[in-house]
Amino acid sequence: MKTRLALLYITLMMLPILAQAQDTSWKAPDAADTMQNQFALNKQFLSLGEKTFKSNCTTCHGKKGKGNGPAAVALNPKPANLQSDRVQNESQGALFWKISTGKKGMPSWKSALSKKQLWAVVIYVKNLTKSKEQILSKN
What is the residue-averaged pLDDT of the chain? 86
The pTM (predicted TM-score) of the whole model is 0.80
Domain hosting 115: range is: 26-137
* 14 inside domain: no
**CA 129 – CA 54 distance, rounded (Å):** 15
What's the total number of domains in the chain?
Answer: 1
| Domain membership flag for residue 10 | no
Four-residue CA torsion sign, 105, 110, 112, 113: positive
* N- to C-terminal Cα separation, the chain: 68
Domain assignment present for 33: yes
The domain spanning residue 70 has which CATH number? 1.10.760.10
Contact 64, 138 (CB under 8 A): no
Domain-embedded: residue 123: yes
In a domain, 80, yes or no: yes
Q: What is the pLDDT of residues 74-125, one digit of tens each?
A: 999 999 999 999 999 999 999 999 999 999 889 999 999 999 999 999 999 9
